[in-house]
Amino acid sequence: MDITKIKKIHIIGIGGCASSAIAEFLAKNSVSVSGSEMKYRDGLTYLENMGVKIYYSHDKANLNNSVDLVLFSPAVTALNPNNPELIEAKSKNIPLISWQTFIGEYLNNKGKKGITVCGSEGKGTTAGILTSIVKDTDFDPLAILGAKIKNIYNNTDSNIYIGRGETYILEGDEFNRNFLNYHPSINVMINFEYEHPETYKDFNEYQLAFYQYFKGMNGGKTLILRATDNIINFVDKYNLSYTHKIIWFGKENELKFAENGTHYLIKDHKVDFSGNNFVLQTDNKQFDFFIPSLPGYLALNATGAIIAAFELGLPYQTIKENIKRFTGMVRRFDLYKTKNNGIFVTDYGHSPESVNHIIKEIKTIFSDKKLHLVFQPHLFSRTYNFFNEFVESLGKADKISLIDIYPAREKEEDWLDKISSYKIYEKLSLLKKNVFYAGKSKDIATALSNKIDESEVTCFIGAGDMDLYFPALFDKFEANGYF
């Protein structure tokens, strides 16, 4: 798609993380942009300052006759297939496509060399590290991510980086099979567990979608894969080593099971409050790296990004220096210290797997402290399908407070009789003490004020709207970022 021929684009659901990045990209390319949200949403002022017109309602009047193209997020159609703006666009014969379709067509037509990161976890962080590495090199990328990279623009956080080169970096999002719109030549995958039960009925169907995605890759079709059991079995199941260039990475206990490909071994990994030090070994070569950021699992994300940078053609010394610029992703293991030396952690985790990772990291880094986990489940379908797994993972914390489920693109009334955070609370209460039901996210400050103990680590995990309300608790305990 040639955006130079488009004068005005309207985006339904412009406040979404990726949708807002698309809006910024278009505005900076001299396209007139408007968009809508169901209600007022903080954090969009920067778009309005660029000249983007934002309507805080969904109304057919938001579309005038000068609109050339309407983009939408799949969440919009999931919530209301009869959205008045969708209907108005159809009635006026205005072209109507998802933003994923748009960016996929645009990048394909531009002939850019694509790198994506896919899988069940680690997409945003890995893509963020890779963006930090490739930024300002000959491959200076266009990167559009689902999370903000800290300090990517002169101490400014952003989920989009617009470089001058012919490379792009995207998250390959499997929800709704969105990633089938992209055709990269390099792909990185860190984790591979069954996810998005609202899209895939089981793990077999989930795997098939990834196979279709990899089959549609362009160029050399390079797969950079962490050697987990699920990923190794997946490669064998679809004979990918015959059709793709396979590069494995991981620790020694993982790599010994991976065959038919190049191996990168993670060695001498050390984590302290200054960050991550580790060595990568391949053949007879060794490369040492340092990332000035926590947590420890960043070494895995970084390894995938480093290998992708090698595959682009960047030299070791450039990668080694540029990776030091990565200071983290917003709302990904953000650390805060309270006035009385308590520790707050915030993270975006939404699956049992991510909860397990975060708990493990906290218990490793703060081994002398108990953990109070405040969790807001994301999506009714995910919570319902992985109920037992959530109970098991959450139960590893010393104290648990549960916030009501964030519905996102699902309708609460469809799930009220099936699943709720209170049901998790009831189950966990049978297994251990110190389990609390905290109710609605907007009431978090009142519900948890007397539950927080500054001798513990308090970790807020959730991909919903909890971040709009826990700052009141941060204010009360005078918590400030110290990393």
In a domain, 106, yes or no: no
We report the CATH number of the domain holding residue 15 as: 3.40.50.720
Nearest to 121 by CA among 394, 368, 350, 408: 350
Q: Which of 44, 73, 101 is the last residue of a domain?
A: 101
Residues 321 and 192 in one domain: yes
Residues 401 and 466 in one domain: yes
In a domain, 156, yes or no: yes
Residues 289 and 362 in one domain: no
Residues 86 and 198 in one domain: no
Residues 16 and 39 in one domain: yes
Is the peptide bond between 197 and the residue preceding it cis, with omega within 30 degrees of 0? Answer: no
Nearest to 444 by CA among 344, 359, 312: 344
**Under 8 Å between Cβ of 378 and 462:** yes
Residues 352 and 321 in one domain: no
Number of domains forming the structure of the chain: 3
**Under 8 Å between Cβ of 71 and 12:** yes
Q: Which of 67, 101, 135 is the last residue of a domain?
A: 101
334-337 vs 399-403, strand pairing mode: unpaired
Q: What is the pLDDT of residue 482?
A: 62
How many residues comprise the chain?
483
We report the CATH number of the domain holding residue 396 as: 3.90.190.20
Residues 338 and 309 in one domain: no
We report the CATH number of the domain holding residue 163 as: 3.40.1190.10
pTM (predicted TM-score): 0.91
What are the tokens at 83?
């959205």
What are the tokens at 84?
């008045």
Q: Which of 66, 101, 136 is the last residue of a domain?
A: 101
Residues 185 and 54 in one domain: no
Residues 33 and 171 in one domain: no
Residues 147 and 12 in one domain: no
Cβ atoms within 10 Å, residue 198: 18
In a domain, 285, yes or no: yes
What are the tokens at 237?
């199941």
**Under 8 Å between Cβ of 72 and 13:** yes
Residue written as token pair 């899209």: 199
Residues 362 and 430 in one domain: yes
Where in the sequence is the domain holding 461, given as residue range(s)? 334-481
Enter the DSSP assignment of 404.
P
In a domain, 8, yes or no: yes
Can you list the residues of the chain whose pLDDT is less than 50? none
Residues 134 and 199 in one domain: yes
64 HSE (CA, 13 A, CB side): 8
